[in-house]
Amino acid sequence: MISKRLSIYFFFFCVATVVGNPFLPLFNKLYKTHQLVEGKKFSEAKKSIFLLKSKKDSTECILWYDLTRVYLSENKFDSAFIISDKALSVAIQQFRNQGKAKQIQKRYHLTLKNFDSLFAQQVEKAFLSNRSTNPDKITSNGSGFNQREINQQYIRLFKTKLTFFQFRDSILNKSDASQTQSFSPKSNSLLTNCIFHLELTQDTLNFHSVIQTNSILAYKNYLKTYWDNIESETQLNYQIHQLNFFKVMEDSLYNLAYINTLRTNTENAFLLFAKEYPRAPQKDSALNHAESIAYLEAKSVNNEAQYNYYLSRYPKAIHKSQVEYLLRYLNVIPVPYLTKDLKYVFVDSASSETWSDSSYDFAYPYASKYHKKWYDNGSMLMPGCALVMKLDAFETPEFYYVEKDGTRVNKNNYDEIIQFTPNMAFVLKAERYGIINSLGNEVLPCKFQRIYFDTSMGIGAVFNGKFWGFINIAGKLITPLQFNGILTSKLTFTVNADIIELPKLLIPVSLNNLWGYIEANGQVAIDYKYKQAYSFKNGVALIESTDSKWFYINRFGDVVSKEYENIQDFENGFSKITKIIDGKKKIGILAKPFRGFINQLNTNSKQLNELGAQFNLSLTPENLRAEFKEIIPPIHEEVWYTVNEFFTGYAVKQKTGFTLYDTAGKVMNKNPFPNINIQAQKLFIAKEKKQLKWFNPKSKAMSTNSVDEISILTDHWLGGLNKGVWNIYTMDESLVNINNDKGTVFKDFEAVAPSEKEGFIIAQKKGLWGLINEKGNVLIDFKFLDINFTDVPNQYIVRIPVQGNPEESTWGVYNSLTNKYIIDPVFDGISYEDFSGYWLVPYNEKNAWLDSKGNLFAE
């Protein structure tokens, strides 16, 4: 019996020796769990593993190996990464024992390379997942870390693991296990590569963050750090990687510094640029600019000392011959002279002797003063040069500039010139617009159907007939030509080239017929996802969504107001809102928040009070409105409004009449007005017995005065017609006394009207007009048929009747301070465009130039 049992035991021993322990699945739960994992029964395996973790099996590497595979089956890669690290650490410890190593290999068919390979897979997944994330976004798990911080965490973790495994490897290679197997860890080389690439990624992120600062100092610091670091780096591929960034950063530094220099536009600024950036590709251009500005300044001063100073600084200058010519003719002032054959030639203003042989179909005087005064027609764009015009064979005008000696500045000629800054002008050629500067150089070639420029921001918008794009002051595109629209879908332009005021915060643009916002540097600030988008005011922007809902957003694109069926945005910080209630449109008034707007402006207390006065609000840092407020709920059929400096208010139609509200939503009239209307969006008026009354914001009632007709003259004054005569009233009903300097009081005018210039009105007595300022002072007596303003204060172009023939009239120029004529009123007309002491008057079928002394330059 004993021998039989021994035989059975011996049989099982032999089988176990050959194929393993046959009772292991029955008695070893760890082995059973491993078999579940091998059979892909991960749910059952997970339950078993969590029971075993709390027992002695937690010290077994196979437990952590199997748990890693379970997490991988659940796509929990972060957990798999951590547990595979644990599995490899425990395996290295256990494989140091040769017997344990053989047991694991025989029982589970796993070597240390399997554990290392599993961990290496997780390192690679973590690295690839990290690289695929957007460096500018916050992590999806809400940790609040940006990508740079996450990269740093990975670098620290990978370096720690690399050091640990290298230490373990050295111990393992000295142990008994090294006698049974050779081990070359894959994870070590992978960790080394990942750390290297993460460090390169950090460089990329750092490069982009510095580029986005648009700061010269930041660019310089980056370049300095590059030189400090590159000397200590020995890896060639790292140096090449860094060198690419260095080149881009260096070019960005040169471009930014040069654009700033162009904005400064002084000789010293260009010379400093050339000195500070000797390797810049813009260096030669900067030196040419400096020389040209010095040339222009020399011509503007126009004396021997200045010309000699120029020649001493620039002995090989491109304008040397012109300066030497100007030195010879310092005392000559050429003026366009109309000849008998109706051509213009330049003559000496003192002697009328011919100055140059060339003749023109029209010519302006030479622009003598540098940037002191300029005209839209571009005649003052180039100091020391004259704008002239000749008709081509098809009678089409061609404009170009000539030097003082009569030679052309360059070969360029244009159909039209429109100056928009002291040193830049739009030019038209073959129905396409471009930009030239005061040197005659084309900053932007004539390739665009439309051009608009914001002179304060140094940014322009261009349209090529299909798409819009944006340019900087150097004429370079800062965005591609890709936008369907700019500013607003309802924007209409009356001219094809003009100055424009772009939003200072963010610029609305349309791409693929959806609206979003870009920054002034062309970077996308808010994605293109709106049906309509408007410019930011008071820190918020009006939006229409693709489902036709209207609301406001802040500069980060967050919705900050309720949604409405429609919003009409006013200029004064309020909006007219529409909601649909029971299928009917209901109107209200929405007040926009001030707090964010004030913080942007960094407004002091005085400015805050002035702003509050505009909106009839008490504005202090403590009570600034931080949120939108429906000061008039959208429950009314109609709400009317007036907006002016003197009074802003709202009229709500109700069953008993009209109730008026101020900008705080406070009712202003105790009893509703039975009828009310609006005039010129500035004044509430009511009609009683065929006469008109207006709302007096001081008494909060309709005026006690009744008039036949009302004319709004300014934000503070109105004209009232009674029994055929006009008088002038303030909004609060005070009669305005009109006086002249002799103390005469004027009233009962035949007509009153706003003048072409804000702050003045014109009034008529005995069929003749006079000019009155807002203080009630008569500036020009009532003796002219017409009064037109000029660019010079106190000088007016006036028209008077011819004595004995009231059907005819003549023109002159009148000085309101001296009450004398500068130009006697003997001409059939005078151009509004006086030119630096010259006037243009009709003469002999054309126009001739007339100087301020009355000298007419014509045959």
pLDDT, tens digit (0-9, with 9 covering 90-100), for 70-103: 988 988 877 888 888 888 888 888 887 888 888 8
**Residue 233, pLDDT above cutoff 60:** no
For the segment 129-138, the average pLDDT, to the nearest whole number, is 51
**Residue 205, pLDDT above cutoff 70:** no
Write the pLDDT tens digit of every residue in 45-78: 888 888 887 677 778 888 889 988 898 898 887 7
pLDDT at 230: 58
pLDDT at 592: 83
> Where is average pLDDT lowest: 323-327, 520-524, 561-565, 789-793?
323-327
**Residue 27, pLDDT above cutoff 60:** no
pLDDT at 79: 84
For the segment 458-471, the average pLDDT, to the nearest whole number, is 94
Banded model confidence at residue 110, pLDDT cuts 50, 70, 90: confident
**Residue 196, pLDDT above cutoff 70:** no
3-state class of 288 per DSSP? helix
Residues 6+ positions from 658 with CB-CB distance below 8 Å: 651, 652, 672, 673, 674, 675, 676
Q: Which two tokens stand for residue 561?
A: 């107001």
pLDDT at 136: 46
Distance from chain centroid for Cα 748: 52
pLDDT at 12: 47
Q: Which two tokens stand for residue 710?
A: 């009302």
Rounded (10°) angle between helices 147-174 and 186-213:
160
Average confidence score pLDDT of the chain = 82
Banded model confidence at residue 107, pLDDT cuts 50, 70, 90: confident
Q: Tokens 């006079």 — which residue?
A: 770
pLDDT at 527: 94
Write the pLDDT tens digit of every residue in 597-635: 444 444 555 665 665 665 555 555 544 566 788 989 999
For the segment 385-399, the average pLDDT, to the nearest whole number, is 92
Distance from chain centroid for Cα 498: 18
Q: Which of the two residues, 26 and 204, has the higher pLDDT score?
A: 204
Q: To the nearest whole percent, how much of the chain has pLDDT over 70?
A: 80
Write the pLDDT tens digit of every residue in 664-714: 788 888 788 888 888 877 889 988 888 999 988 888 888 898 999 999 998
pLDDT at 181: 47
8-state DSSP, 186? H
Banded model confidence at residue 478, pLDDT cuts 50, 70, 90: very high
Distance from chain centroid for Cα 355: 49
> Where is average pLDDT lowest: 95-104, 458-467, 555-564, 575-584?
95-104
pLDDT at 346: 94
pLDDT at 790: 86
CA angle 133, 134, 136 (to 5 degrees): 140
Q: Which two tokens stand for residue 418?
A: 């429109």
Nearest to 127 by CA among 54, 170, 77, 53: 77
pLDDT at 19: 44
Banded model confidence at residue 508, pLDDT cuts 50, 70, 90: very high
For the segment 446-462, the average pLDDT, to the nearest whole number, is 94
pLDDT at 84: 82
Q: Which of the two residues, 437 and 715, has the higher pLDDT score?
A: 437
Write the pLDDT tens digit of every residue in 214-230: 788 888 887 777 676 65
Nearest to 256 by CA among 301, 304, 225, 211: 211
**Residue 140, pLDDT above cutoff 70:** no
> Where is average pLDDT lowest: 218-232, 356-370, 831-845?
218-232
Query: Which helix (DSSP H) or strand (DSSP E) does residue 783 occupy?
Result: strand 778-784
Write the pLDDT tens digit of every residue in 241-284: 566 667 777 888 888 899 889 888 888 999 999 999 998 999 98
